[in-house]
Amino acid sequence: MNLYLSLLSLDDAEQLFAFEKDNKNFFERFVPPRPDSYFRFEDFSEILEELLEEQGDRRSLFYLIKDGNGQIIGRMNLVDIDWVTKSGKIGYRVGQQFTGKGAAVKGLQLLISEAKKMNLKELHAKTTKDNLPSQKVLDRCLFQKETEEIGDFICYKLAL
C-alpha cells in the first residue's frame, strides 16, 4: 500500500468529517468517545479551525495518512511539541477497513521520520491497556514501555 502523510488543511474538512463519522463506532472500541458535537459538521469545522491555529503556531502538527489516490485512511498527530526539550506526544488512528494491513505502522514510521527532520529527540505515546493493536504498532516502531502507568493507560517513549 502506497501511503504518505499530508498536513491537515481546510481542504480536508469534508473528507475527514466523513472518515471520522464512518469509523466512530470502531474507534470507540479502543479510545474514549468524542463528544456528540464532533459529529455535527458546523462544530467539527470549528474544531478543525482550532487545530489549524495550533498547527500554525507549531504547538502541534496534525497529519493525515493518505493512500495513492489521496483518500484519508488514518490520522497521525504530533501534539504538545516542546521545542526546548525537543519532545512531543503522538496519537494516531486508522480507519477500520485499513487495519491489519500495516497502515498504522507505515504511518507511524513516516511520522517518526518527520520528527527526526524537525530535530525532535523524544516521542511519547500512550494507549489504553486493552488496545492491543495499538500496543503492537508501538512495539513494531521500537517504542519502549515506561514503568509508569496512568490509570487505564500504558505509556511509551521513543528516543530518536
Supply the pLDDT for residue 152. Answer: 85
CA nearest neighbour of 88 among 66, 111, 56, 64: 111
Average pLDDT, the chain: 94
Whether the pLDDT of residue 149 is over 80: the answer is no
Per-residue pLDDT tens digits for 92-133: 999 999 999 999 999 999 999 999 999 999 999 999 888 899
pLDDT band at 32 (very low <50, low <70, confident <90, very high): confident
Per-residue pLDDT tens digits for 55-76: 999 999 999 999 999 999 999 9
Residue with more model confidence, 32 or 141:
141
Gap between the Cα atoms of 127 and 98, Å rounded: 19
Whether the pLDDT of residue 144 is over 90: the answer is yes
Domains of the chain: 3-159 (3.40.630.30)
Counting Cβ atoms within 10 Å, is residue 112 exposed (0-12), middle (13-18) or buried (19+)?
Answer: buried
Whether the pLDDT of residue 153 is over 80: the answer is yes
